[in-house]
Amino acid sequence: MTFRERPRGGYRRAVQFRDLGPLRVESDGVPLRIAGRRLSTLLAVLVAHAGDAVPVDRLVEATWTGSPPVRAEAALDSLLWRLRRILDPDREARGPGEVLRTEPGGYRIVAGDREVDSRAFAAGAAGSASALRAGDPGAALEAADRALERWRGVPFDGIADAPWVASVRHRMDSVRLDVRETRIQALLDLGRPEQAASDVLPLLRDHPFRERLWAQRMLGLYRAGRQADALATFADARALLAAELGVRPGPELTGVHAAVLAQDPVLQGSGAQAVASGGGLAGPVRLPPRVAGCGAATTISRTSTTCWTGSRS
């Protein structure tokens, strides 16, 4: 539980914003009641920009989804007054709030990364990827599992659809996919191929054109002594890509396939060398890291070659 120092000593209540799923707010672990669609939407906008001031006109636009009332600012003031009573019940009359602050031209939720689930989730995902790159799959798996515990469902579930909501959901879905892929690779590196091959199946159902996931399943099956199943997995992926997208598997997937066919001993390793793009494999196999800036939208083989790095040594 996190406490912040008051300017005059002591601590303030620990307020946690749980935005990965239906929006919830907890104070010292106790849920706070946020009643009403407008109030929930207003809070969601502020939480999505926690730490930054949100201008009044943007709050009005987002809260009323493009159809504000005639006296929009007065209506917004009324909602903000209600929100202050919930978030800052101990606020002195006309004094500054500790959680909801008035800023020049707007309002700001005061919260650190650990106090907003989506921020903590993203930090955990980054920590997991960093640990994997550093050659510590155990720490990577632990960080990934800890981050995924925060995921309760669709971010801001129940908030009316709007462009800003869609943007947040897309971004967090991308982070979630990345950390789940990192988790599968950590399982492979830890010598748990059966679990990796099993745990990747729900991901494949949601992202059937994501070639990296097919490659991870093939690698898990092969390391578990199931070469025939690994080859059948490649056949399934190739058929799906041809039927649905009219493309062939890219270098990453075909590289793993060639190694499985040849029963290349390199497939049993877990070192830092990547799958070579085309041709044979060199060094123990780990699926290559993502290039910065490439996200979950990269799914088909023709684009995936620009978003995954491979090397040959």
Beta bridge partners of 27: 15, 30
Name the domain boundary from 81, 111, 141. 111
Q: Is residue 172 part of a domain?
A: no
Q: Is residue 308 part of a domain?
A: yes
The per-residue pLDDT for range 258-267, each reduced to its tens digit, is 999 999 988 9
Query: Is 243 within 8 Å of 251 (Cβ atoms)?
Result: no
Q: In which band, very low, low, confident or very high, does the pLDDT at 95 lie, cut at 50, 70 and 90?
A: low
Query: Is 78 within 8 Å of 122 (Cβ atoms)?
Result: no
Count of domains in the chain?
Answer: 2
Q: Is residue 303 part of a domain?
A: yes
Write the CATH number for 46. Answer: 1.10.10.10
Q: What's the pTM value of the predicted model, to 2 decimals?
A: 0.80
Average pLDDT over residues 233-250: 97
State percent of the chain over pLDDT 90: 71
Helices (H), the chain: 37-48, 56-63, 72-87, 117-133, 137-148, 163-189, 193-199, 201-206, 211-223, 227-245, 251-262, 301-304
Q: Which domain holds residue 296?
A: 193-313
Q: Is residue 177 part of a domain?
A: no
CA dist 194 and 230 (Å) reads: 12
Write the CATH number for 236. Answer: 1.25.40.10
The per-residue pLDDT for range 186-212, each reduced to its tens digit, is 999 999 999 999 999 999 999 999 999
Average pLDDT over residues 303-308: 30
Q: Is residue 201 domain-shared with residue 300, that is, in the same domain? A: yes
CA gyration radius, the chain:
24
Q: In which band, very low, low, confident or very high, does the pLDDT at 300 lie, cut at 50, 70 and 90?
A: very low
* Res 97: pLDDT: 76
The per-residue pLDDT for range 143-199, each reduced to its tens digit, is 999 999 999 999 999 998 888 999 999 999 999 999 999 999 999 999 999 999 999
Q: Is residue 162 part of a domain?
A: no
* Res 128: pLDDT: 98
Q: Is residue 104 domain-shared with residue 204, that is, in the same domain? A: no
State percent of the chain over pLDDT 70: 80
Name the domain boundary from 111, 132, 157. 111
* Res 177: pLDDT: 97
* Res 281: pLDDT: 40
The per-residue pLDDT for range 12-63, each reduced to its tens digit, is 678 999 999 999 999 988 999 999 999 999 999 999 999 999 999 999 999 9
Q: In which band, very low, low, confident or very high, does the pLDDT at 103 lie, cut at 50, 70 and 90?
A: very high
Name the domain boundary from 73, 96, 111. 111
Longest dimension (CA), the chain: 76
For the cut 60, the answer to whether the pLDDT of residue 257 exceeds it is: yes
